[in-house]
Amino acid sequence: MRAAILIPLLTLLAFAGDATEGPRELYRNTRYADAIALLKQGPADAQSLELLGKCFYQLGDFKKATDALEKAAALAPGDSTIQDWLGRAWGERAETSFAFAAAAHARKAREAFERAVRLDPANATALNDLFDYYLEAPGFMGGGVEKARALIPSLARLDPAGSHLAQARLDEAKKQFAAAETELHAAVQLAPDKLDPVIELAQFLARRNRHEESDQAFQQAAGVAPDSPRILFARAESLIRNKRNMAEARDLLKQYLAAKGLTPDDPARWEALRLLKKADGAGQ
């Protein structure tokens, strides 16, 4: 009898441990569906709801992501990271909605990003996300080049290489291509061990139809992070954007989707599937 009582109790205690650590480990290993299943059986506190929302985001279910993250934000209104992820989720809903709904979702994304930066001005990730929003969104949705430019001094204090990447994007948007390239090289020099600057340089060179130099930059990226699947994604994205070699782009994306070493910091699989659909539609 004592054993019959003790075994279920031990099982319950083991599950309680999984509920706090298990889902996070599953998330880190990109096993998002498994993490969701475990989180749904655990407590609905702010941290669990945040992780649940991030899992749904990584799976491309942005409606469920915003639902979970809104609940997390209500429980922890002072958490900058939750607000940043909420902004990302609303932003993707805006990207995938019809015009009227898209405008409302974009407004919520902007408000969440702005709130994230107000809550923690040292949150470089939120600051970069807000910069991206301002640069890409039209004025009637609260975007604007000057708003984006105003964030660069703060970025420079928190993320010097990132501030050069941001300035490069601004320069390119204004068709100041020589200045943009100078900023990209500065970012690479400041952070020679980081992948993003050299990838952005490679993609910029491809957009300028300097394909041989772009290929060399991608080779440099492989030297920085030889096993990073993100390079596969970036090369495919560059080929598709420049309408070059769709067959190679499709192959790269299939390699990316099959990669074993993906992390939550890499582009989500739904992003690769979205690109693959573009490649299939573009043909050869």
Structure tokens belonging to residue 235: 């090369």
Structure tokens belonging to residue 193: 């061990």
Which is nearest to 276 in space by CA: 242, 50, 247, 265?
A: 247
**12-158 homologous superfamily:** Tetratricopeptide repeat domain (1.25.40.10)
pLDDT interval class at 280 (50, 70, 90): confident
Rounded CA separation 267/282 (Å): 21
Q: Residue 272 contacts by C-beta under 8 Å, 6 or more apart in sequence?
A: 233, 236, 253, 256, 257
SS3 of 189-202: the string is HHCCCCHHHHHHHH
The domain segmentation of the chain, as residue ranges, is: 12-158
Q: What is the pTM of this model?
A: 0.88
Q: Residue 68 contacts by C-beta under 8 Å, 6 or more apart in sequence?
A: 49, 50, 52, 53, 56
Q: What is the pLDDT of residues 10-62, one digit of tens each?
A: 333 334 444 445 999 999 999 999 999 999 999 999 999 999 999 999 999 99
